[in-house]
């Protein structure tokens, strides 16, 4: 029984829609992100992207590098990172069709273009930074530095600890010796019956075990080199601590130091999938193979001025290198630091959390012309703001001086802005755009992909602030 419908509905004719021609220019908003990126392409220096194609004149004409780059920039801006998903969107999404038209690249072409041009994203990053400065989005008054852990493209199940490597190495050596003895016995029997055998190929079982043994020995060597580097760093740290005690800046005490061991701990692990990254704690409180992605963010419009990737779990040694990269990026982009009434460059304020603090970091930032505000300890939630401590005597150590600096009115104001500057950037990258894992392997490729993520963040800021100004 069909129930009669009294309500009137708008007509629906899917058969006609299937034959209808859609134009991105007619269907998408006038100020859509895709049209902004298409308009931006002529303002970028794309000669390095074309250079790799100019040396080869044979074969079919390749896709225009400007189109491929625009496709990558738009895909990363809207949170599409898989080359297969990008190729799929080029067939179904009007915004992607506005870039590629009827000649659509497949996923392998997109993947190869990204991998082959990762090294060029550093220069592209500085070019976008210059566009942001020309739009008035970079003021260089206050910087905030922070890092976040991102998993890499490596499985925890394809890794091995140093202790298990030693056991597996001994087992494989014993099996290889046994297989070699069996092969010699077979050769001797064949020689007696049929004459000399060729013996120019390893048996399949022996070849498999030998390959696995080689990989394990290479992994052991990597862990041993890392352990030696860590031991040398610990020696240097102890020497600096002893020098501080001799100069009276630090009191000797505590338990006697344990002997420095240059061999890896049996629980130390390395990955066979991507040996260049390390296992480290992730934001979900678990452990995974990944990297520590660093950013330096300008305070006015949250423009990223430096993007770096490191395998160090903590941020203790990252404050000075990322600040140096930020200043280098400004120089390459042709951005001059603000000056005072006498024409001297003003010191840029630089805020960072306690993970970045060390006396060397403070002095290094000051030598770069920055004014650091780095917390020397974690503040408990809902802790009282004891402003009366400003009148207490200031110690002579670098930590005491930084602690006193943060207790001043300016120190509290500067450090109080840190969270609102840099932490939303990671929220926008991870939450809004869904970038939570690197898809490429190898530290240099990961570094290139991180710069691509950060430069698209800056492009989004330029586009959004431009839209806001146009509405006003």
12-39 pLDDT tens trace: 888 887 887 878 888 888 889 999 999 9
For the stretch 182-199, pLDDT in tens is 666 666 665 655 455 454
Average pLDDT for residues 382-389, to the nearest whole number? 46
Q: Tell me how many degrees the CA angle 440-113-445 measures, rounded to the nearest 5.
A: 30
Q: How confident is the model at residue 387 (pLDDT cuts 50, 70, 90)?
A: very low
Q: How confident is the model at residue 235 (pLDDT cuts 50, 70, 90)?
A: confident
pLDDT (0 to 100) of residue 471: 52
For 423, list phi and psi in degrees, rounded to 5.
-70, -35
Among 19-28, 201-210, 453-462, the range with the most confident prediction by mean pLDDT is 453-462
Q: Which residue has the higher pLDDT, 212 or 276?
A: 276
Secondary structure element (H or E) that encloses residue 39, with its range: helix 33-40
For 396, list phi and psi in degrees, rounded to 5.
-90, -15
Report the distance separating Cα 329 and Cα 314, nearest Å: 24
By the 8 A CB rule, do 288 and 156 touch?
yes
Average pLDDT for residues 299-315, to the nearest whole number? 92
What is the rounded radius of gyration, in angstroms, for the C-alpha atoms of the chain? 29
* Six-digit token string for 10: 């708008």
Average pLDDT for residues 284-306, to the nearest whole number? 89
pTM: 0.80
By the 8 A CB rule, do 158 and 355 touch?
no
pLDDT over 80 at 437, yes or no = yes
For the chain, give the percent of residues with pLDDT over 70.
76
Count CB neighbours of 266 within 10 A: 12
pLDDT (0 to 100) of residue 200: 47
């Amino acid at each position: 029984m069909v129930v009669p419908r009294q309500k009137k509905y708008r007509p629906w004719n899917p058969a006609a829609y299937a034959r209808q021609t859609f134009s991105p220019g007619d269907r998408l908003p006038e100020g859509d992100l895709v049209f902004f990126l298409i308009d931006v392409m002529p303002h970028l220096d794309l000669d390095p992207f074309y250079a790799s194609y100019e040396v080869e004149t044979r074969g079919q004409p390749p896709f225009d590098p400007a189109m491929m780059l625009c496709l990558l920039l738009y895909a990363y801006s809207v949170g599409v990172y898989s080359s297969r998903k990008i190729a799929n969107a080029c067939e179904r999404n009007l915004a992607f069709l506005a870039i590629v038209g009827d000649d659509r690249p497949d996923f392998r072409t997109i993947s190869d273009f990204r991998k082959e041009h990762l090294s060029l994203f550093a220069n592209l990053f500085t070019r976008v930074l210059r566009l942001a400065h020309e739009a008035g989005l970079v003021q260089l008054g206050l910087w905030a530095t922070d890092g976040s852990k991102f998993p890499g493209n490596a499985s925890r199940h394809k890794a091995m600890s140093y202790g298990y490597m030693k056991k597996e190495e001994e087992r494989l050596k014993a099996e290889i010796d046994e297989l070699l003895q069996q092969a010699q016995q077979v050769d001797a029997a064949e020689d007696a019956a049929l004459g000399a055998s060729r013996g120019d190929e390893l048996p399949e079982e022996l070849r498999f075990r030998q390959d696995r043994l080689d990989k394990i020995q290479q992994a052991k060597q990597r862990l041993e080199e890392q352990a030696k580097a860590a031991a040398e760093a610990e020696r240097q740290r102890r020497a600096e601590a002893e020098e501080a005690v001799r100069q009276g800046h630090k009191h000797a005490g505590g338990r006697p130091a344990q002997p420095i061991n240059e061999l890896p701990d049996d629980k130390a692990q390395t990955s066979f999938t991507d040996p260049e990254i390390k296992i480290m704690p992730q934001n979900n409180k678990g452990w995974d193979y990944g990297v520590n992605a660093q950013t330096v963010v300008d305070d006015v419009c949250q423009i990223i001025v430096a993007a770096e990737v490191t395998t160090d779990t903590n941020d203790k040694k990252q404050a000075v290198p990322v600040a140096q990269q930020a200043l280098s990026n400004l120089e390459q982009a042709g951005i001059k630091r603000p000056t005072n009434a006498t024409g001297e460059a003003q010191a840029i304020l630089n805020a960072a959390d306690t993970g970045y603090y060390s006396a060397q970091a403070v002095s290094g930032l000051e030598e770069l012309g920055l004014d650091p505000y780095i917390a020397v300890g974690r503040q408990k939630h809902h802790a009282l703001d004891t402003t009366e401590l400003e009148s207490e005597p200031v110690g002579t150590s670098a930590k005491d001086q930084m602690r006193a600096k943060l207790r001043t009115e300016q120190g509290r104001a500067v450090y109080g802005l840190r969270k609102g500057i840099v932490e939303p950037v990671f929220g926008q990258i991870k939450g809004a755009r869904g970038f939570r894992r690197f898809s490429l392997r190898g530290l240099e490729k990961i570094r290139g992909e991180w710069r691509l993520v950060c430069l698209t963040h800056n492009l989004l800021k330029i586009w959004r602030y431009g839209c806001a100004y146009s509405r006003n």
